[in-house]
Structure 1
Amino acid sequence: MLVFWKENLVFLAVPKTGTTAIEGALGPKAAMVLRDPPTIKHAPIYRYRRFLKPFFVQAGGQEPETMAVVRDPIDWLGSWYRYRARADLDGHPNSTKDVSFDEFVLEYVKGKPEPFANVGSQAKFVCDGEGQIAVDHLFAYEDQDRLIAFLEQRLDVTLTLPRLNVSPPRAAVLSPAVEAKLRDKRAAEFEVWQAARQSS
């Protein structure tokens, strides 16, 4: 999470959406960089509203605007799948080394997935308890030009995003049947991503 106090903007870091690169580029510009522990770095909108927003409002006398980035749900899951296949997770319950992408996604759509597929929800990250998008500015990961233009204008910077925290290469292709199940069971993920794309 990045807090730009003078610009009245809070960047909420959805995991696996390029947030490490944004943090690396904009960290020096931010008034606050919340990078540890992960529950704070990747605090979703509901947690931000409950714990941090009241403090910021009290301290600054105004309500900061929020922004976040979401990614094509299949691509997002593919990034998690590749990331958890790295060697340092060998033998760990989170490892996807010996799991196919279909198996990973089928586990993900369960009510209580096994640890290796328990990667959260982009929709829950950016939506309120009623399922409505609750961040002020939502961007699609795939539309980097719009994201960069917004940040440059809002923060008065010239921005070049490095590639950081990139997942190791690994094929991540879904079978049609599993993709259909994902779209059915996790429709909200696709709806949020489409909303971000349509706002472009």
Structure 2
Amino acid sequence: MLVFVDANIALFAVPKTGSTAYHLALKTTADIAFAGKQAMKHMPLRKYDRHFAPFLRDAYKLSPERVAVMRDPVEQIRSWYKYRSRDGVRGGNAVPEGMCFDDFVAEVIAPKPQGFAKLGSQHTFLTSNAGALRVDHLFAYTHLDLLQSFLTQRIGKAFRTDRKNVSPRKDAPLSDAMRDALRAARAEEFALYDQVIAAGGHLHSPIESN
């Protein structure tokens, strides 16, 4: 997570949405940069609301607008599958050798998924316990040009990103039946993503309280 005081924005790092590239490009420009430890870099909105937003408000009178990226749920999970299937992954995070993407998705949506399939959800990351969206600006991963323009305008300087943490090439088809099962299991996440796409790739939804 990055906080820019003059631009009055906080940029959140939803896993597997290209966040590492933006954080590496902008961490020296940010006033506050959590770009090292994963638990801090990928701070979800619920934790931010509980702990960090009150700190910024009480200590510095800051209530920055929140900015994040969301990816098509199938593609985000596919990226996790490829990443955890790559050579060198060991222990409980490694996808079992030979496991197809259909079986991986089935494990992701199982009542008690195994360690390699515990991914969390973008919807949970971005919302309150009541399911309310807790970011002001939500961009689609397919429209990162809009995010680039938005950040450049708000920060007041141009910047470039390099691709980081790219998942290895791997065929990962998903059957229609499993796609339907995933959509049913994560209906709220798909609905939120559909909102972002319907908004042209940038959903501007000011939250009630920063």
TM-score under structure 1 normalisation? 0.95
Letter in 2 for 1:199: A
Letter in 2 for 1:144: L
Q: How far 1:24 sits from its partner (Å)?
A: 1.3
Q: Does the 8 Å contact 2:102/2:174 carry over to 1?
A: yes
* 1:7-49 per-position Cα deviation (integer Å, ceiling 9, x unaligned): 1111110000000000111112101110232111101100011
Q: How far 1:169 sits from its partner (Å)?
A: 1.0
Letter in 1 for 2:19: T
| Counterparts of residues 44-123 of structure 1 (less than 5 Å) | 44-90=44-90, 92-98=91-97, 99-123=99-123
Gap regions ≥5 residues in structure 2: 201-210
Instruction: Name the CA distance, whole Å, in 2 between partners of 1:89 and 1:79.
Output: 14
Q: Does the 8 Å contact 1:14/1:122 carry over to 2?
A: yes
What is the percentage of aligned positions where both structures have the same residue? Answer: 40
Specify the alignment match of 2:125 in structure 1: 125
Q: How far 1:162 sits from its partner (Å)?
A: 1.0
Q: How far 1:148 sits from its partner (Å)?
A: 0.9
| Counterparts of residues 24-43 of structure 1 (less than 5 Å) | 24-43=24-43
Q: Does the 8 Å contact 2:27/2:35 carry over to 1?
A: no
Specify the alignment match of 2:154 in structure 1: 154
Instruction: Name the CA distance, whole Å, in 2 between partners of 1:61 and 1:33.
Output: 18
3-state SS of paired residue (2:28): helix
Letter in 1 for 2:110: K
Question: Cα 1:194–1:159, aligned 2, differ >3 Å: closer, same or farther?
Answer: farther
Q: How far 1:173 sits from its partner (Å)?
A: 1.2
Letter in 1 for 2:164: L
Q: Does the 8 Å contact 2:67/2:135 carry over to 1?
A: yes
Question: Does 2:14 correspond to 1:14?
Answer: yes
Question: Does 2:4 correspond to 1:4?
Answer: yes
Name the count of aligned residue pairs: 199
Q: Does the 8 Å contact 2:70/2:139 carry over to 1?
A: yes
Instruction: Name the CA distance, whole Å, in 1 between partners of 2:93 and 2:74.
Output: 19
Instruction: Name the CA distance, whole Å, in 1 between partners of 2:33 and 2:61.
Output: 20
Q: Does the 8 Å contact 1:57/1:64 carry over to 2?
A: no
**What's the Cα RMSD here?**
1.2
Q: Does the 8 Å contact 2:101/2:172 carry over to 1?
A: yes
Instruction: Name the CA distance, whole Å, in 1 between partners of 2:112 and 2:37.
Output: 24
Q: Does the 8 Å contact 1:56/1:63 carry over to 2?
A: yes
Q: How far 1:60 sits from its partner (Å)?
A: 2.0
TM-score under structure 2 normalisation? 0.91
Q: Does the 8 Å contact 1:86/1:97 carry over to 2?
A: no
Q: How far 1:130 sits from its partner (Å)?
A: 1.5
Q: How far 1:97 sits from its partner (Å)?
A: 4.7
Segments ≥4 residues shifted beyond 6 Å: none
Letter in 2 for 1:172: A
Which range moves more in the overlay, 119-128 or 186-195? 186-195
3-state SS of paired residue (1:20): helix
Q: Does the 8 Å contact 1:139/1:199 carry over to 2?
A: no
Instruction: Name the CA distance, whole Å, in 2 between partners of 1:116 and 1:53.
Output: 31
Instruction: Name the CA distance, whole Å, in 2 between partners of 1:159 and 1:142.
Output: 19
Q: Does the 8 Å contact 2:69/2:139 carry over to 1?
A: yes
Specify the alignment match of 2:173 in structure 1: 173
